[in-house]
Each structure stands twice: as C-alpha cells, then as structure tokens.
Amino acid sequence: MTAFIIQRALTSVLVVFGVSVVTFFLTFLSGDPAELMLPTGATPEQMAQFRREWGFDAPIYVQYGRFLGRALQGDLGVSLRHGQPALPLIAERLPATLQLTVTAMLLAIALAVPLGVVSATRRGGPIDLLAMGVALAGQAVPNFWLAIMMILLFAVALGWLPTSGRGGWEHVVLPAVAIAINLMALLTRLVRSTMLEVLSEDYVRTARAKGLGELVVLVRHALRNAMIPLVTVIGLQFGYILGGAVVIETVFTWPGVGLFTIQAITNRDYPVVQAAVMILATAVVSINLVVDLLYAYLDPRIRVRA
C-alpha cells in the first residue's frame, strides 16, 4: 500500500508540474500585457519600463523559472490589475466555488442513487423508461442553455428566484441545479448499469435464498458493491465540475474562481490566470489522488496490480 501511495503521489506532482508549464507558456500567446494595462498613447519608454518592473523583459523561460521558484514558496505572483498577491485574491473566491460545486454534487447524488436503483429493480418498466429518458435528456442538454432557460422561467417570468449573485439559499438553487442535471444523468445511468450487473451475482441470489428482505439485499449487498465504480466517477466528476463551473459562474455572475478567472483572462492579468489554474489543477489532482487511494482501499486488487 505504501508503494501504491508513493507512486500515485509522484504522478500527481508530475501532473501539476506539467499543468504549470502549459499554463505559463500559453498565457503569453494572448498578447502583451503592457499594451492593455497602460493607457492609450503610452510611449515605448513607458512600455519598456512597465515590462522591466514586472519582469516581462526577460526571456520566457527565465520568467517561468522565477514563477516556479516563487510557487514552491507559496507565492503565485501579484495581480497586474489589483496590485495585490494573486493567491489571496483566489482564496477569497474559492469558498463560493466550493459552495456551488459541493451543493451541485450532493444534489446530483441524492437524485441519481435512488433513481438508478429503482430503475435497475424495475428494468423495462415505465419507471425505468422514464428514468433513462430523463437521464438521456440531462446529458444531451448543454448546461449553459439550461441555465439561461431556468433564469427566464423561474427568475424573470415567475419571479421565484434571483437571476444572479450570491446571497442566501435562493441564490444557489438555479446555478447548482444547472450543474447537477448533467451529473445526475451520468450517475443515474452508471448506478443502473452497475446495479444490474451486481444483482445478477451469486452472492445476491444467495442473500435472497436466505430469506433476507429485498431492501436489505439491495442496500447491504448490491448497492455496497456497486459503490466502487460510483466512488471513482464521483471523484473524477467533482474535479471536473470544480474546474468546469466557469460557464455557470459567468451566466449567474456567481463570484467564484471561475468568473474571476474569466475577468483576469479578459484583462490579461497573467499572474491571476496562472494562480487560478494552478489552484484548480492542484485541487483536481488532489481529489483524483484521494479517489485512487479510496478505490484501492475498497478493492485491494487495484493496489496489488499496481
């Protein structure tokens, strides 16, 4: 188990390093920050001074070396727009993104697990067909389109919920649902297919032959074993929606890391963009590492093969 943990940890470090390289070099393809930050009509001398003060006059590989050295010490640079360290600016907005992501994840799980189990136990029936139809529609509809339609219906037409911003529970309903629908559809299909496979196993038939109740068989024997692939997908999808909530945060003007990153990209605020991507990438890699370890704990065959 120790060798498995070390192997996964080293892989995670390499992934974060690769993300830092790609992010740093790609951000400079969008243009010169001096042309955006300085007022119109700035002289070449002023632009040269700006580049010199912020370190943009050095070769890009030298700039990356400086960035990596500071990052190892917890310094991800200073925002060109705000004049403050980028890391605290991202940290201020991270709770909003986590609130939205965790709420969407819990909502999707709460809907998908019972719906998938019922669909599997009623295979071919009306409930199964309805559940699979809902799941198919949930995966087919783009979340940004769904978000706009929900705003028009529940916020504009009916006036039940606010259109944007972050405040009480009513502010989180629409963006969380917009994210959760697609994830719920995926998890429902996964739970159904996994439960169908597990329900055909010998130990499930043995449990029923012993006279155990159907609810006990489903929860203690079938669902417990069906949770292994579900845990993996939930972990991977959590990392996906954590980094992919950018669109939803933009639609609902949700003050999270995603919206702040979009604004930084527009302003060519390179340190903020790099800091945001690094933090989100580290979070996604860390979640995947935890999922790997949890998967190995649930199924010892994984770590034996490794």
Q: What is the pLDDT of residues 245-302, one digit of tens each?
A: 788 888 888 888 888 888 888 777 888 888 888 888 888 888 777 777 776 666 665 5
In whole angstroms, what is the distance from residue 230 CA to residue 223 CA? 10
Does the residue 78 lie in any domain? no
Look at residue 85 and give its three-state secondary structure.
strand
DSSP lists the bridge partners of residue 85 as: 78
If one counts the domains in the chain, the total is 1
Decide if 189 contacts 233 (C-beta within 8 A).
Answer: no
In whole angstroms, what is the distance from residue 151 CA to residue 252 CA? 9
CATH number at residue 162: 1.10.3720.10
Decide if 278 contacts 270 (C-beta within 8 A).
Answer: no
Nearest to 20 by CA among 266, 281, 297: 281
Does the residue 6 lie in any domain? no
Does the residue 202 lie in any domain? yes
Does the residue 65 lie in any domain? no
Q: What is the pLDDT of residue 158?
A: 86
| Chain center to CA of 33 | 29
Q: Alpha helices of the chain — where are they, by DSSP H?
A: 2-27, 33-37, 44-54, 60-71, 86-121, 126-140, 143-150, 169-199, 202-209, 214-216, 224-244, 246-251, 257-266, 270-298, 300-305
Could you tell me what percent of the chain has a pLDDT over 70? 87
Could you tell me what percent of the chain has a pLDDT over 90? 1
- Which amino acid, 1? M
Q: What is the pLDDT of residue 50?
A: 79
In whole angstroms, what is the distance from residue 290 CA to residue 281 CA? 14
Name the pLDDT band for 49 (thresholds 50, 70, 90). confident
DSSP secondary structure code for residue 152 in this structure? I
Does the residue 273 lie in any domain? yes
Quick check: 40 pLDDT over 80?
no
Q: Which residues contact 146 (CB under 8 A, 6 or more apart)?
A: 178, 181
> Can you give the residue range of the structural domain that contains 151?
92-305
Does the residue 7 lie in any domain? no
